[in-house]
Amino acid sequence: MPDGAAHVEDGPLRRLLDDQRLVVRESFEHGEEHGLTAAERVLVSRAVPTRRREFAAGRRAARAALLELGAPATSILSGPRGEPAWPASVVGSITHCVGYVGVTVARRGDVRAVGIDAEPDLRLPDGVLETIASPAERSMVVALSADGRAVAWDRLVFCVKEVVFKIWYPLALSWLDFGDAEVVVDPDRGTFRASLLRPSHELAALCLPAVLRGRWSRERGVLVAAAWIEARARSGEAA
């Protein structure tokens, strides 16, 4: 994917983020490690090859997306907690997992925040669901698993929580625990709700709605979830 040679035009993320104000680049391949700027190469100089390849795939896709948006496509460095350092006028999100890379960017004037996440459609390792999910979320996973659809519902709950974190962190610049969001998945509509269980004054200060609404899908063995907030969303509303 030099600037997106293997870019999928009509991929899962494009369908989830069904608004042209959000530019999307996605691919089901990471490709070789190339296309990084010198400053970006420094960020992964000590990383293992698979990490360098996924990082490079993300940065190439991000640069292609920035170009398409008409934004400066210079080095995209990382902030103190790993968040991509977008140009000031841009918001965006990056995700990669084995066999997938996705990026979205938008103008800050259009989109207040966006989060995307991709995970393999495979059950979480034993014991992980208990650490990331509430009793209600675990009951939901049990109920969804009983209906016979072969989706790794536990992994999807994790995936949605990563989406929430990627929205939260760039706005709050503070940690969000797995217990700080309660996820409800709609298996038929391909949607989800994530209630932010933080004090209302904190959410108001961040202009964040109490409930984030988003969409998810599964394609080629990859779960993808995404949510975004309009720049001009009224309090309590997310896209």
Ligand X SMILES: CC(C)(COP(=O)(O)OP(=O)(O)OC[C@H]1O[C@@H](n2cnc3c(N)ncnc32)[C@H](O)[C@@H]1OP(=O)(O)O)[C@@H](O)C(=O)NCCC(=O)NCCS
- Using the rule CB under 6 A, is 81 a contact of ligand X? yes
Least CB distance to ligand X at residue 95 (A): 4
Least CB distance to ligand X at residue 87 (A): 15
Backbone angles phi, psi at 27, to 5 degrees: -155, 150
Contact pattern for ligand X over residues 133 through 152, marking x by CB under 6 A: --------------------
**Which is nearer to ligand X, 29 or 180 (by Cβ)?**
180
Find the largest Cα–Cα distance for the chain: 50
Contact pattern for ligand X over residues 87 through 126, marking x by CB under 6 A: -------xxx--------------------xx--------
Tokens of 64: 């292609």
- Using the rule CB under 6 A, is 209 a contact of ligand X? no
Contact pick of 156, 164, 225, 227 for ligand X (by CB under 6 A)? 164
Query: Of 123, 114, 216, 131, nearest to 179 (Cα)?
Result: 131
- Using the rule CB under 6 A, is 169 a contact of ligand X? yes
- Using the rule CB under 6 A, is 166 a contact of ligand X? yes
CA dihedral 116, 121, 123, 129 (to 10 degrees): 10
- Using the rule CB under 6 A, is 33 a contact of ligand X? no
Report in angstroms the alpha-carbon separations of 85 from 73, 79, 103, 145, 158: 12, 6, 13, 38, 24
Least CB distance to ligand X at residue 80 (A): 8
Q: Are residues 225 and 116 in contact, defined by beta-carbon separation less than 8 angstroms?
A: yes
- Using the rule CB under 6 A, is 78 a contact of ligand X? yes
Contact pick of 26, 40, 137, 162 for ligand X (by CB under 6 A)? 162
- Using the rule CB under 6 A, is 84 a contact of ligand X? yes
Rounded Cα distance, 33 and 55, in Å? 8
User: Which residues are CB-contacts of 181 (< 8 A; sequence separation ≥ 6)?
Assistant: 161, 164, 194, 195, 196, 197, 212
Least CB distance to ligand X at residue 103 (A): 9
Name the residue with tokens 């907690």: 81
Rounded Cα distance, 37 and 44, in Å? 11
Least CB distance to ligand X at residue 154 (A): 14
Continuous segment of H or E residues that includes residue 162: helix 153-172
Least CB distance to ligand X at residue 98 (A): 10
- Using the rule CB under 6 A, is 180 a contact of ligand X? yes
- List contacts with ligand X (CB under 6 A): 55, 58, 78, 81-84, 94-96, 117-118, 161-162, 164-166, 169-170, 176, 178, 180-181
